[in-house]
Amino acid sequence: MNFRKLTWQDKDIYTRYYQASPVHYAEYSFFGLWAWQHACPIEISETDGEICWLKSGGPLPGIFGPCGNWDAVKDWDAELSNFSSGDIIYDVPAKVKEILSGRENLRFIDDRDQHEYVYAVKDMIALKGKAYAHKRNRVRAFLDGYEWDYYPITPKDFAEIMEFQERWREHRMQTMTPDEAESLNDEDVAIQNALEHWGDFKFKGGMLKVDDKIVAYTIAEELDAENLDVRFEKAVPEYAGSYQAINYMFLKENAEGYTWVNREEDMGETGLREAKMSYNPAFMLEKFQMEIL
């Protein structure tokens, strides 16, 4: 395969592959790849015109994918001939695994840490039933406990968002390892990329303020007409229920017309997994490692 660096000029080309995909994983959107290029450079290889493969040069280097219309690939044998025995392709979508299952030269390994969590928007707003009792209480603790205001994010708020982000990051970094701190710095660059290219993507954002100061915000990307992806969500934990409140208020005010909200993977982090599971995902977008035997 002939890989080349994914650049901003590839946005329209790559987006056509993404839009043609039968399932829209958050990881595979152009923003999801391009915004972290500083920390995780991405290369792209186009093959038969229906799909493309991606190569990561980040902390976990390797080939992943494919992205595109998997159902329209005419010759999977030709695609697989690009790989050699011992190669591992990461983050293979579940539908691709289904298409290729049964081939004796392939082995699939469930990559649970990379599964994406998808929730029903209506359930995340209603928070009905025993399963959501704790979430309702946390939301109520914030909404009843503070004099708050909710605002959609607009370009005039960008500087204030980054000021809040800097305070939030500095507070978190006091108790983090160097690797964790570096990851937060990388995320800051991605957030800045989102704000600088706000008009180039289908972003929605909302923020909660107390005493006219931001205490929580969410930035989400529209993946398609039914799916929103929560790209960034931050809150000040000293304000009781702030995380639950921004999740609730953002969807209540900004998710009209959407069926699903994607909150991405947990990367194997125990606390993050517990938090994501506590919201009772409607389903998971599974990913697999594919080993060539």
Of 249 and 59, the structure prediction assigns the larger pLDDT to 249
The Cβ of residue 172 has, within 10 Å, a number of other Cβ atoms equal to 14
The Cβ of residue 282 has, within 10 Å, a number of other Cβ atoms equal to 16
Q: What percentage of residues in the chain have a pLDDT greater than 90?
A: 89
Res 45: pLDDT? 96
Which range among 69-73, 169-173, 252-256 shows the weakest confidence by mean pLDDT? Answer: 169-173
pLDDT in tens, 100-148: 999 999 999 999 999 999 999 999 999 999 999 999 999 999 999 999 9
pLDDT in tens, 87-97: 999 999 999 99
**Which among 242, 155, 254, 260 is positioned nearest to 204, based on CA atoms?**
254
Residues 232-249 have a mean pLDDT of 96
What are the chain's domains?
Answer: 4-115 (3.40.630.30), 117-264 (3.40.630.30)
Task: Say what the pTM is.
Answer: 0.95
Cα dist from 74 to 51, 78, 105, 217, whole Å? 11, 9, 19, 45
Write down the mean pLDDT value for the chain: 95
Contact 215, 143 (CB under 8 A): no
Res 59: pLDDT? 76
207 class by beta-carbon count within 10 Å (0-12 exposed, 13-18 middle, 19+ buried)? buried
The Cβ of residue 177 has, within 10 Å, a number of other Cβ atoms equal to 9
Tokens of 127: 């928070």
Reported as a pLDDT band with limits 50, 70 and 90, residue 48 is confident
Res 170: pLDDT? 84
Q: Determine the residue type at 273.
A: R
Distance linking the first and last C-alpha atoms of the chain = 19
pLDDT in tens, 176-221: 788 888 888 899 999 999 999 999 999 999 999 999 999 999 999 9
